[in-house]
Amino acid sequence: MATAGHRPNRIHELSQPKRITKGFIEDRHSVYWVDKLPPKPGPDGVTVCVLTPRQQQLVYNKRVHQDYRGDSGVKATPDVFLIRPSPIWPVSGAAKKASASAHVENLARHKPVHRQYMYDRPVQTFIPESAKKVEATPRIEALARAKTYHPLPILDLREWDWSDWNERVPKKALSAHCSGRIEDLARAKTLHRDFSANRPIQWDVAPSAQKAQASARITALALAKARVSLNDEYDPYKVPLGAKHCQATPRVQELAVPLPRKCRQKKIV
């Protein structure tokens, strides 16, 4: 607590409750949400909505144009809305005696059908008498007959015997010889001259490979990387002093520079 004669600290100020501003209105328990209270609440306590002049203008129906004239020739007013009494109205004598021009008569003619247009055929086709009396040719009668199939020479399982084959095969088929082209097609396709078959999983190692000796370079590459000492605490992240004083060559510096087309100067506002 702040003593008398001293300015209260920040914590003391934050601990004070928030003051209610002037003109504060407590929330109304209503189903409506309005920005402000209506000027004249209803006698039963229900919220009365007041329309703006623009809303009142949109409520009215669309008025007839001031220059609109009905069939009777009377000019329409905002208070008078003219409606045609009937779709039939009297025709003037001048309109009855008028004669159409040549262009109007040309436009009044219906559009003719194309000369190659064919109308839909009726559902029931009428056969002419000439088609009823026509006689089919022998060729058409031969084509009209159903095709007859000879039974296939398939033996049942109980009749399947190797000894009966020679008796059932025709003699011409037994003495037939195929042509040279069929013999060429019957031969199996040969492998390419450079084709190498898959090597077996296990194969014999050549004696020369068994007696081979590694060179000094291969022996040096096969050795593990030697450290200074096994007892030293080696730190792989420590940068040596020689690498710290190293300077890049002009070529390396040239390659490190970004491309000019990817460089743009910053805008200073």
How do residues 3-36 score in pLDDT, each as one tens digit? 545 556 888 888 888 888 887 777 655 555 556 6
Per DSSP, the chain holds a count of helices (H) and strands (E) of 13, 0
Contact 41, 47 (CB under 8 A): yes
Residue that wins the pLDDT comparison between 48 and 243: 243
- The predicted pLDDT at position 2 comes to 46
The CA R_g of the chain, rounded to the nearest whole Å, is 56
How do residues 92-141 score in pLDDT, each as one tens digit? 889 899 999 999 999 999 999 999 999 888 888 888 999 999 999 999 99
* pTM recorded for the entire structure: 0.19
Give the chain's length: 269
How many CB atoms within 10 Å of residue 76?
16
Beta-carbon contacts of 102 under 8 Å, excluding residues fewer than 6 positions away, are none
Report the SS3 class of residue 55: helix
Q: Which range, of 52-56, 87-91, 122-126, 162-166, averages the lowest pLDDT?
A: 162-166
DSSP 88: -
